[in-house]
Amino acid sequence: MNELAKMLILIGAILVVAGLVMLGIQKYPFSGKIPGDIIVKKENVTLYFPLGTSIILSVLVSLILYLINKFR
């Protein structure tokens, strides 16, 4: 039970950091405008799917977790 509590705390901390990063990344001009991001604008609806941004963030997070695991 103790391990489950630690895992939930870790997941919560990761979500908080991810939320702060998402708030902070909006200030940079390159966010949302890299190749691969899909934006569909219709009359009343705008669909935004950040595919390129998601791939870049996934690679960065994987690299960070790999380095943490390697030096742990």
Phi, psi for 42 (deg, rounded to 5): -115, -170
Q: Lowest mean pLDDT: which of 3-7, 51-55, 66-70?
A: 51-55
pLDDT given for residue 48 in this prediction: 82
0.95 surpassed by pTM: no
- pLDDT band at 30; cut points 50, 70, 90: low
Token pair recorded at residue 55: 């791939």
pLDDT given for residue 31 in this prediction: 60
